[in-house]
Amino acid sequence: MAAPSEAPVTRQVSGHAAPAPVPSGPASWQPLAAAVAELPVLDASGRPVLFGELFRERRAIVVFVRHFLCYICKEYVEDLAKIPKSFLQEANVTLIVIGQSSYHHIEPFCKLTGYSHEIYVDPEREIYKRLGMKRGEEIASSGDPAQQGGTLILGPGNNIHFIHHDRNRLDHKPINSVLQLVGVQHVDFTSRPSVIHV
């Protein structure tokens, strides 16, 4: 009788050194949150803001995008732009996008995507690095083309409730599943007409 076959063991191989592992589990995330809270991000005018100030008073969904020329990231942010501010306000949650290019790219990116929630950049990618965001895929861009993004739920204070590291440009966390985690009502992202009542 043949031995039962096992699934092959696979792992991604790259030429880059692996980032420091991110601690797993909410209790081990707190020192990580404190470490990144004091790092600066830049707003659309280039003014530095401490990252921790963005989620000190309330929970925040923070989406780190690969770069502003990534077509997949653009589409994802276009969908984020469709989340009504009233839905976020009802749940006392703020939505923040962090890019990793120059602050000069914020305004054109917002015009392109229709995004009107909070947006900042981490041009040195220091927060990306400390949070263990992966690197991979070489594509021309504004910002490090190999940098991957991710989604976090932070605050109030230095509390990290959820971390998702994008493995590649197609690995964004589904928006409605993130909204559900913070008590924000479901958003219909379909753009095609549909019959609601008959």
Percent of the chain past pLDDT 70, that is, above it, reads: 71
User: Is 188 in contact with 89 (CB distance < 8 Å)?
Assistant: no
With a cut of 60, say whether residue 120 has pLDDT above it. Answer: yes
- In this prediction, residue 13 carries a pLDDT of 32
With a cut of 60, say whether residue 83 has pLDDT above it. Answer: yes
> Can you tell me the mean pLDDT for 2-19?
38
Percent of the chain past pLDDT 90, that is, above it, reads: 35
Phi, psi of 48 (to 5 degrees): -75, 140
E strand or H helix at 18: none
Instruction: Place 165 in a pLDDT band, splitting at 50, 70 and 90.
Output: confident
E strand or H helix at 186: none
Min mean pLDDT across 5-9, 98-102, 112-116 is at 5-9
Closest among 105, 114, 112 to 81, alpha carbons compared = 114
Q: Between residues 105 and 142, which one has the greater pLDDT?
A: 105
Q: Between residues 79 and 48, which one has the greater pLDDT?
A: 48
Q: How far is the C-alpha of 189 from the C-alpha of 49, rounded, in Å?
A: 31
Phi, psi of 99 (to 5 degrees): -105, 180
Instruction: Place 139 in a pLDDT band, splitting at 50, 70 and 90.
Output: very low
> Can you tell me the mean pLDDT for 159-167?
76
Amino acid at 152: L
Task: Give the chain's domains with CATH numbers.
Answer: 26-181 (3.40.30.10)
> Can you tell me the mean pLDDT for 166-173?
70
User: What is the chain's mean pLDDT, rounded?
Assistant: 76
> Can you tell me the mean pLDDT for 35-59?
94
Cα dihedral value 29, 34, 38, 41, nearest 10: 20
With a cut of 60, say whether residue 89 has pLDDT above it. Answer: yes
